[in-house]
C-alpha cells in the first residue's frame, strides 16, 4: 500500500476541494469483525477521525464536516448512546488543546434538542477555545439531520419575513443557505462515505446538490490518511459540469 506521503505528491494543489464532508460509517461492523463491543469500534473510529483531521490540516483544506451522530441515532440501545456521549466528552477534553495548537476552528453543528443540556453547554464552552483560530474549519455534525436543518432554516426565514414582507419574494438558494448550520461555508465539493453504503443518510441534503460522491468499501476505523488521499485523487479525476456540458 502506498504511503500517504507518496499519494500527497500526486494531488494537484490547484484542484483542491474547498469543503469535504465525511459520513463516518462502519464502526459497529468493524467491532463485530474483531469480536469486540460496538463502543470498541467507536473508539477505533475516533482514531481514524484524528487522522482525517491531521490530513486536512496538512493539505490546508478550508472546511471539513464530519458526521458524528445523527438525529436518528437516538434509537440505538441506551447503553451505546450513553457510552457515545461519555466518549465524546472524553475526546473533546483530550483533543481540543491539540486542535487549538493546529489553528483549527472547531464547532458543532446540529440541534440541542434531546441532548443533555449540561453536555451541550460543555461542548459549546470547550469548542469556544478554538474560535479565534484561522486554519481548518472543522464542523462536527452532532445530533444532526439534514431535513431538520432545512426546517429550522425555514423557521428563521419566517421570523425575518414577519418584519420584512418582501423578503420571501426575493428568496434565493444563496439566501436560504445563510440560515443553515453551514452558513458562511462553501457547499461541499466532495462527500466521502465509508463502509460501502450508497446513501447520504440525511447528511447535508441542501448543501450536497452538486457534491461529488466517493464511496469507499473501507470501514471507518481503517480509513487512514492514504485512503483519504485516494478519495481526493478520485475527486480530482472528475469533470465537474454543474448541469452544463463538457467544454470542447
- Report in angstroms the alpha-carbon separations of 171 from 19, 103, 157, 161, 234: 24, 35, 9, 10, 35
Interhelix angle 38-58/78-101, nearest 10 degrees = 20
Q: Beta-strand (E) ranges in 93-241?
A: 105-109, 137-144, 190-193, 212-215
Give me the catalytic one of 27, 73, 114, 143.
Answer: 73
Please say if 164 is a catalytic residue: no
CB-neighbour burial class of residue 238 (10 A; exposed 0-12, middle 13-18, buried 19+): exposed
Give me the catalytic one of 3, 9, 12, 25.
Answer: 25
Residue 194 near residue 216 (C-beta atoms within 8 A): yes
Question: Which cell is 95 given?
Answer: 483533543
Please say if 114 is a catalytic residue: no
Catalytic residues: 25, 73
Amino acid at each position: 500500500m502506498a504511503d500517504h506521503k507518496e499519494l500527497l505528491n500526486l494531488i494537484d494543489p490547484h484542484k483542491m476541494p474547498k469543503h469535504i464532508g465525511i459520513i463516518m460509517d462502519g464502526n459497529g461492523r468493524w467491532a463485530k469483525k474483531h469480536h469486540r463491543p460496538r463502543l470498541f469500534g467507536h473508539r477505533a473510529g475516533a482514531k481514524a477521525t484524528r487522522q482525517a483531521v491531521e490530513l486536512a490540516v496538512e493539505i490546508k483544506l478550508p472546511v471539513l464536516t464530519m458526521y458524528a451522530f445523527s438525529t436518528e441515532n437516538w434509537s440505538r440501545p441506551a447503553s451505546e448512546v450513553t457510552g457515545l456521549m461519555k466518549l465524546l466528552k472524553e475526546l473533546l477534553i483530550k483533543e481540543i488543546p491539540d486542535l487549538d495548537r493546529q489553528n483549527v476552528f472547531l464547532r458543532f453543528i446540529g440541534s440541542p434538542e434531546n441532548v443533555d443540556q449540561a453536555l451541550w453547554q460543555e461542548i459549546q464552552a470547550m469548542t469556544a477555545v478554538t474560535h479565534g483560530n484561522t486554519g481548518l474549519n472543522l464542523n462536527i455534525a452532532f445530533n444532526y439531520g439534514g431535513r431538520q436543518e432545512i426546517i429550522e432554516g425555514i423557521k428563521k426565514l419566517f421570523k425575518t419575513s414577519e418584519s420584512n414582507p418582501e423578503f420571501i419574494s426575493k428568496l434565493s438558494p444563496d439566501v436560504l443557505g445563510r440560515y443553515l448550520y453551514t452558513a458562511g461555508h462553501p457547499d461541499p465539493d466532495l462527500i466521502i462515505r465509508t463502509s460501502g453504503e450508497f446513501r447520504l443518510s440525511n447528511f447535508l441534503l441542501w448543501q450536497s446538490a452538486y457534491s461529488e460522491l466517493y464511496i469507499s468499501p473501507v470501514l471507518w476505523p481503517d480509513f487512514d490518511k492514504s485512503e483519504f488521499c485516494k478519495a481526493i485523487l478520485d475527486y480530482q479525476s472528475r469533470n465537474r459540469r454543474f448541469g452544463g456540458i463538457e467544454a470542447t
